[in-house]
Amino acid sequence: MAKKNVSVWTSIPFWRRSAAWVTGFAVVLLIWLSFDTLGQISMGTDEDLKSGVTKRVPGPTVINYNIDYKFSKKRGSEVPIIGDKEPFFGKEWSVEDAAALLHLGKLTSQAKNCMNCHTLLGNGAYYAPDLTKAWLDPTWEAMGYFGQKTKEEGIAHFLQHPAENAIHTRRMPNLAITPEEAKGLVAFLKHMSSIDTNGFPRNFSKTVEQFKQGGTNAR
């Protein structure tokens, strides 16, 4: 018996089943990806830092450590390197105090709407410099920490008096940031710079000259 000449492409059940399959698969995939992300973005603990366990987002006590940015040939991007301990505002912060300071910094960054001009971890604007790795910016050192002894004091000083210490034609306005809030913001920035962002923002550690030569500022 000769087979009937049929058109599958014009059959509605074929398209209905294909659409159901693709949609169903995408739903399962997105739910899976959401749970997969949780492991990537969950914060590490103080024990992780002490035992050298690498987490994408280290715990708040990372502010007690030196943070460097190095180019990893294996990863093909710059990665934050958590080094030896160093005092932060002259002391070592406990787990609770570091978490509280970081929380204050986060709330302040939201209250003062940093994202209105800056970018944090890919969110925000590009009117002002990207803050994702701001702690590692060599500009702080180049500016002599604005007459302060340490980098954290220098950044805190700048945050309280940005208009007077403008280093850019797009001046940051004075936002009435208190000394305590400034400390929190510096802790927030230091913690953010320790987050492994797969090298984002791209070429942060390069100057224009280094970029032309293919080199990098990251040691």
Closest to other proteins by CB, 15 vs 126, is: 15
CB of 191 to other proteins, least distance (A): 16
Provide CB contacts within 8 A for 65, sequence distance 6+.
49, 82, 83, 84, 85, 86, 194
Whole-number minimum distance, CB 97 to other proteins, in Å? 27
Strands 119-120 and 77-85: unpaired
Q: Tell me whether residue 1 or residue 142 sits nearer to other proteins (CB atom).
A: 1
Residues that bind other proteins (CB under 8 A): 3-4, 6-8, 11, 13-14, 17-18, 21-22, 25, 29, 33, 36, 39-40, 54-56, 74-76, 196
Six token digits for residue 116: 């209105």
C-beta neighbour count of 179 within 10 angstroms: 11
Structural tokens at position 202: 């791209």
34 vs 169, which CB is nearer to other proteins? 34
The nearer residue to other proteins, 83 or 179, going by C-beta atoms, is 83
- Residue 43 has a CB neighbour count (10 Å cut-off) of 16
- As measured in angstroms, the least distance from the Cβ of 56 to other proteins is 5
